[in-house]
A and B are shown apart, each in its own frame.
Chain A
Amino acid sequence: MTHYLDHAATTPVHPLVAEAMVAELARVGNPSSVHAPGRAARRAVEESRERLAATLGARPSEVVWTSGGTEADNLAVKGLWWARHGADPRRIRVLVSAVEHHAVLDPARWLATQGADVVELPVHPDGALDLDALAAELSEHGDRVALVSVMWANNEIGTVQPLAEVVELAHAHGVPVHTDAVQAFGHLPVDLRAIAVDAVTISAHKLGGPVGVGALVARRGLELVPVLHGGGQERSVRSGTLDAVGSVGMALAAELAVADLPTEAVRLAALRDALVDGARRLVPDAVLRGPEPSTGRRLPHSAHLTFPGCEGDSLLYLMDSRGVACSTGSACAAGVPQPSHVLLACGVDEADARGALRFSLGRTSTAQDVEAVLAALPEVVARAKAAGLASAPARRVG
């Protein structure tokens, strides 16, 4: 029996979504073809576009279908920089928060090798963007900034960013704002009528849809230089055969998640709080990273804890061997967990950052999942402490 507490990594596909996709799989037609089967496929894509836009308070024409969140982030960061810098060569700076997902950070860092000036803005210890730092950057260099990218909510420690303030500051200098809402959409209300952000990344597989489809929701009139050139789909912003099956899946997944959001957010927050309270009781030196749940400034469904003296890979193995699927919350380039850049940006020292576990809940999570974590936790932490840190000084072999 596996207890799955890694919904932030990916979510189980909703049965209704699977059903709708299978039905669409049975049909043939390239949505760009002019004939009847093509038009039928196109209709599925366009209806999905309208339905998805409605869940976000966006206009259908603002939805650009992509293969997922990473592609949408690349299109936003690179596309906005190339467009803005192309129109005004003085606009050479890219401002990103230091806690962005690698799908935003790495395109930005790559742009730095192509002539951009990338600034990774500092954050407070709870992961929230330091708005004073952003304000100072903009007041000094505002006319040389091409774009700002700050995520809606952090995938590791759950911090909800002060996006409205970011937008206000950036727009005062004519700078567009992109936000990676991959973790936020489906867990927090995301209404693009209420916030003037210029481009938003979302991904289907984080909210009960399939891997392989996402969207960049970009305001009309926002210039984007394409990453993918080809057949000219999506008004030439994103070429590639339109994915009828994927778009159907994404639209339905979004509708279901948004409809259930009010009750699910409350239910999951209660489970999450039980997990955090229990963990702190059982392991008094465990530290919750990110804002306290009571502040209301963190995602409702996730908890990130660090355990002193433990190595993340030991914790992960011990949990996995007890049937608890969770994460160390950090990207593994070569399969080796690295101390999270998010924790390091929050001022956590490297040794503490190594012993991290992230638990994230979702539609299929129950109280039994939380109980399984709490039942395993004391022995897991005790053994992980005994295994120590691999970086501890070598003992002399006697």
Chain B
Amino acid sequence: MRVLAALSGGVDSAVAAARAVDAGHDVVGVHMALSRSRAEHRTGSRGCCTIEDASDARRSADVLGIGYYVWDLSERFEETVVADFLSEYAAGRTPNPCVRCNEHIKFSALLDKATALGFDAVCTGHYARVELPEDGRRSLHRARDAAKDQSYVLAVMGPERLARAMFPLGTVATKDDVRAEAAARGLPVSAKPDSYDLCFVADGDTQGFLRERLGSTPGDVVDADGAVVGRHDGAWAFTVGQRKGLGLGRPAADGRPRYVLDVRPATNTVVVGAAELLSVTGLRGADVVWFDPPSAGWTAGEVQLRAHGTPVPARWRAADGGLEVRLDRPVRGLAAGQSAVGYLGDRVAVQATIDEVDRR
């Protein structure tokens, strides 16, 4: 197969590409330029996709003996991933841009371009497994290394796009094995630290990024009864479930910690209250992606509500064009905008974006 290997400049994507080469595919490497203002060097491990990352990707391609190109997807990235990130925060929701990137860029813009140019699949360094069972429908599964599993952020791509995705790292035991394999293959990036935080916020200062793009709009912090208990500088700085950084001068009457319960952009208020008010027993999801046929009857499984979060036993069903989820036990601090992924065993069954939470 002709495979386009996305090379970020990190060790995971380099080893993934190496495995695709070993599997006998005709592999070409591509580094995606996603940021318009690309720094020269990495500032520590934060962020990604600097010119140094592009050079590291090129060196990995050299060692693997594959072609290497840099494709500029920065405009599409800005108008989908970054725009969604900002509009969700402005709406008082909590986005997951990595999910949006997989949805709009990696397995959309990049995949479409690759397909038009004659490639059969896009290969990435994501930790997830794709299986092709007897009935021929590809399924998405958790990676063998549960700590690194990224099936949660990949679920948004849906089963059709899965047919053209390749995740060679889904079967490795641990990240350490990947580094060892990289070193054994002579890849210079074997010791490169993992990047974390958002790839498009180079210095890791997400708050600063939001402040710069959304501006300062002071407003009230209120308690569950509506009484004003403080002031804030911009509702976007708060996320449901947040405890730190509330800037409330006086403790609550009962002396217990307060948490963000709700962010209301319409009134520019942030609502805080006691922990038990955060308790969520169910949710409604929109833009549902079904891996199994939609069912009006309940399906029982586990739902994961955060990247690397512990899955919660739950039931789900199709309802009113969306997804209705009932959690078997309450969960705290769920926010609209987050992704909910339903698993049956280690297999992804459904994905949706949380639209509303039920607190009961």
A337 within 8 A of partner (CB): yes
Q: A313-B69, A386-B116 are in contact. Are A391 and B33 (CB under 8 A)?
A: no
**How many whole Å from A359's CB to the nearest CB in chain B?**
19
Interface residues on B, range: 20 to 34
B1 located at the interface, meaning its Cβ lies under 8 Å from any Cβ of chain A in the complex: no
Q: Which residue of B lies closest to A335 (CB)?
A: B70
Residues of A contacting B73 in the complex (Cβ-Cβ under 8 angstroms)? 390
Interface string of B96-109 (1 = CB under 8 A from A): 00000001100011
Q: In the complex the two chains form, is A321's CB within 8 Å of B28's CB?
A: yes
Residues of B within 8 A of A393 (CB): 79
Smallest CB gap from B55: residue in A? A335
The interface bits of chain A over 360-398 (1 if a CB of B lies within 8 angstroms of the residue's CB, else 0) are 000000000000000000000001101110110110010
Beta-carbon contacts under 8 Å, A277-328 to B:
313-314, 316-318, 320-321
Q: How many residues of A contact B (CB 8 A)?
A: 22
Alpha-carbon separation in the docked complex, A316 to B58 (Å): 17
Compute how far the CA of A336 lies from the CA of B73 in the bound complex, rounded to whole angstroms.
10
Between A and B, 13 residue pairs with Cβ closer than 8 Å are: A313-B69, A313-B70, A314-B117, A318-B118, A335-B31, A335-B51, A336-B74, A387-B113, A387-B116, A390-B76, A390-B109, A391-B76, A394-B109
Name the 5 nearest CB pairs between A and B, nearest first.
Answer: A387-B116, A335-B70, A386-B116, A336-B72, A336-B33
Please give, as numbers and ranges, the residues of chain B lying within 8 Å of A314 by CB-CB distance. 113, 116-117
Chain B: minimal CB distance from A22 (Å): 27
Known: A334-B54, A397-B108. A390 touches B113 (CB 8 A): yes
Instruction: Please indicate the chain B residues that have their CB under 8 angstroms from the CB of A391 in the complex.
Output: 75-76
A317 touches B104 (CB 8 A): no
Q: Are B71 and A313 in contact (CB under 8 A)?
A: yes
User: Which residue of B has the minimal Cβ distance to A320?
Assistant: B67
Within 8 A of A (CB), among B49-64: 51, 54, 58
Given A390-B75, A391-B75, A397-B108, check contact A334 B117 (CB 8 Å): no
Confirm or deny: B164 has a beta carbon within 8 angstroms of a beta carbon on chain A: no
Question: Chain B's nearest CB lies how many Å from the CB of A52?
Answer: 36
Does B80 sit at the interface, judged by CB under 8 A? yes
CB distance from B50 to the nearest CB of A (A): 9
- Interface 0/1 of A330-363, CB less than 8 Å to B: 0010111100000000000000000000000000
Q: In the complex the two chains form, is B116's CB within 8 Å of A334's CB?
A: no
CB distance from B350 to the nearest CB of A (A): 16
Q: Is B211 an interface residue (CB 8 A)?
A: no
Residue B315 at the A interface, CB < 8 A? Answer: no
> Which residue of A335, A384, A386, A397 contacts B103 across the interface (Cβ within 8 Å)?
A397
A316 to B67, CA, bound (A): 12
Closest residue to A392 on the B side, CB-wise? B76
In the complex, B144 has a CB within 8 A of chain A? no
In the complex, the answer to whether B69 meets A334 with C-beta atoms within 8 Å is: no
Report which of B72, B76, B104 forms a contact with A337, defined as CB distance below 8 A. Answer: B72
Asked if residues B117 and A387 are in contact (CB atoms below 8 Å), the reply is yes
A335–B74 alpha-carbon span in the complex (Å):
13
